Amino acid sequence: MWQKLANIDRRIIYVLMVGVIALALIQPIGLAIVPSEETIRAYEFIESLPAGSVVYLGMDFSAGGIPELMPAIQSLVRQGFKKDLKFIAGGMWVMAGDMADMGFSIVEAEFPDKKYGVDWVNLGYKPGGEVLLQKMLASFYDACVGIDHYGNDLAQLPLMSEVPTIKDVDAIFIFVTGTPGEREYIRHVTSPHNIPFLVSCVSVSVPEMMPLIQSGQIVAGVLGMKGAAEYEVLVGHPGTATAGMDAQSFSHALIIIFIILGNLGYIFTREK
């Protein structure tokens, strides 16, 4: 028996791993998730904004960031619309408009009273990198060449007349996987103009984000899939991040079990 444990076919491990992950995603058990201080700080900041406040959402990521960032975006949209906040979304990454589309796809079903152009606007991707941010400081209209992601005239959207520049928003909350990202906002927008700045990032970016949070340049962060799952719990709408944490936890447990079995098999067969 120990000989078999020491030489388990790797295909068996792969099949069991796929099965465990699939089962956790399809039928989440809902393991206890205790929100971290960082996620609570982000949630409470949004809660502190008065009705009618406008939050700029920086969609600075591509499709690879969807599993970790999209749950946080949709949780923020749910929390914000429950408080009658308004959103302007845009970004320096090519898929910014598509990511905003996906983030706001829940609005029609969950918030049918919210209207495009009045309660939220999708500016989409605009080229220029950090130069785009500098132009937004002077005028959203000019920076976006007068149109949103769908080709609508920004002058015809009531929300854009309320906040003609990015300096006029009440907070900036960006979702990032790389560069350009948080440092460009800090350099050109949030620090020079004292605009509250929040960030959601993928797990591998957390170590480089923490010094910016600890220094106060970032008010709070929703960090990785764990942070997104915590945000879902705080908003009261568990979703894909919560299921993802179940899958991650069970897959890690399975790996630990195989490590233990493999080592036991090695120890007992070596003695023979």
Contact of 144 with 123, CB cutoff 8 Å: yes
Q: What is the pLDDT of residues 136-171, one digit of tens each?
A: 999 999 999 999 999 999 999 999 999 999 999 999
Strands (DSSP E) found in 102-260 = 120-125, 171-176, 197-201, 220-223
- If one compares 21 and 90, the residue with the highest pLDDT of the two is 90
At 271, the pLDDT band (50, 70, 90 cuts) reads: low
- If one compares 94 and 246, the residue with the highest pLDDT of the two is 94
> Quick check: 272 pLDDT over 70?
no
pLDDT of residue 216: 94
Alpha carbon distances (Å) from 179 to 118, 123, 145, 234, 260: 31, 19, 23, 29, 40
